[in-house]
Amino acid sequence: MSKQSITRVEKPWGYELIWAKTADYVGKVIHINKGHKLSLQYHNIKEETIYVLSGKMALLIENDRGVLEEIPLAAGEAHHIPVKRKHRFIGVEDCDIAEVSTCHLDDVVRLEDNYGRSGTSKA
């Protein structure tokens, strides 16, 4: 058993702390600054579940009818995000979110991004 190193990844909306990474799963803490939002995105392979550790966020997520709906989440609440489901995280307050997912970190299809990052679809 060995001590796990933690990788901090700076983002325009906050940062990620990757605290677990194996061939099967990844564990992250996502920090979103108040008023910021991640890209509207989906994943072709990656599946994830989030748990709000602190603060408040809004989860914009595509429902079963293909319509985006906003779900408020606060500390102690969790939500599963299935494969190919459009979604976006929004920081209502500074918030920290634990995310567990499959190991496909590069599987991101950005549909809209407030920060002009590459990979954003023009469709």
With cut-offs at 50, 70 and 90, classify the pLDDT of residue 118: low
Q: Report the 10 Å Cβ neighbour count for 115.
A: 13
Number of helices (H), then strands (E), in the chain: 0, 11
Which residue segments constitute the domains of the chain, with CATH numbers given?
7-112 (2.60.120.10)
The pTM score is 0.91
Whether pLDDT at 119 is above 60? yes
* Residue 123 banded pLDDT, cuts 50, 70, 90: very low
What is d(CA 25, CA 105) in angstroms, rounded to the nearest whole number?
10
